[in-house]
Amino acid sequence: MMNIYLLTHQRELERKTNTGVLATELLGENCRVFVWDRVSPNIELLHKLKHESVALIYPTEDSISMDEVANFDSFIIIDATWQEAQKMYNHSPYLKNLAKVQLNREKTSIYTLRRNQKKLGLCTAECVSELLNLTANKQHAKTLEANLTRFITNSAGYRVWLSLLITQPFLAILSASFGYIFFMQSGHML
């Protein structure tokens, strides 16, 4: 099986919407996380770039076709928001020297947990799933897609619940259900 290296922005490690964790949980040692540092690139990652056939999954004008993924042993995926990923790419000369592969996915992304998504952009787990499909690891791809769907559904449900929790109509229903009377204007409860 190929290796996938997630070059992860520090802030991404703390986000509850990070899908890179789904890939690392499923693929174990075949999916490693390297925390990006602008000033001090990870030495182990640089060593791997020197001694392995590595491509970067990133859309650029000079990206190669997905059909050529078989030519590589390992892939780097930038695990960050699109805005952060662009900055990471621009500030990392070692990434610019790699072959770049653009995934041409026919389906649109199902990832809805963040704003400001690129129209044809994919989240980290979707990128990994596409790579798995392209490299004949279809069962792993299917499992990852199912895990992502469950992750999004659970996260989206939680967010809907939170948004309902802070709205007045929900509080009125809650107060009627539990026999409380809320005065929303004054903030008092009787």
Asked if 89 and 52 sit in the same domain, the reply is yes
Beta bridge partners of 75: 4, 55
Asked if 64 and 129 sit in the same domain, the reply is yes
- pLDDT, position 76: 97
Asked if 14 and 84 sit in the same domain, the reply is yes
Instruction: Provide the domain count of the chain.
Output: 2
pLDDT tens readout for residues 28-87:
999 999 999 999 999 999 999 999 999 999 988 888 888 888 889 999 999 998 889 999
Residue 142 scores a pLDDT above 60: yes
What is the Cα–Cα distance from 109 to 19, expressed in whole angstroms?
13
To the nearest whole percent, how much of the chain has pLDDT over 90? 46
State the amino acid at position 81 in one-letter form.
Answer: T
Q: Identify the domain containing residue 176 by its residue range.
A: 162-189
Output Rg (C-alpha) for the chain, integer angstroms: 21
Asked if 149 and 166 sit in the same domain, the reply is no
Asked if 75 and 140 sit in the same domain, the reply is yes
Asked if 49 and 98 sit in the same domain, the reply is yes
What is the Cα–Cα distance from 81 to 146, expressed in whole angstroms?
22
- pLDDT, position 45: 97
Asked if 94 and 176 sit in the same domain, the reply is no
Average pLDDT over residues 16-24: 89
Triad 4, 5, 8: Cα angle to 5°: 135
To the nearest whole percent, how much of the chain has pLDDT over 70? 73
What is the Cα–Cα distance from 45 to 79, expressed in whole angstroms?
15
Asked if 80 and 173 sit in the same domain, the reply is no
Residue 168 scores a pLDDT above 90: no
Asked if 142 and 166 sit in the same domain, the reply is no
Q: Is 152 helix (H, G, I), strand (E, B) or coil?
A: helix
Q: Are 20 and 10 in contact (CB under 8 A)?
A: no
Residue 131 scores a pLDDT above 70: yes
Asked if 137 and 64 sit in the same domain, the reply is yes
Residue 184 scores a pLDDT above 50: no
Q: Is 31 helix (H, G, I), strand (E, B) or coil?
A: strand
pLDDT tens readout for residues 147-160:
988 887 777 555 55
Asked if 122 and 170 sit in the same domain, the reply is no
- Split at pLDDT 50, 70, 90, the class of 188 is very low
Asked if 118 and 168 sit in the same domain, the reply is no
What is the Cα–Cα distance from 25 to 171, expressed in whole angstroms?
38
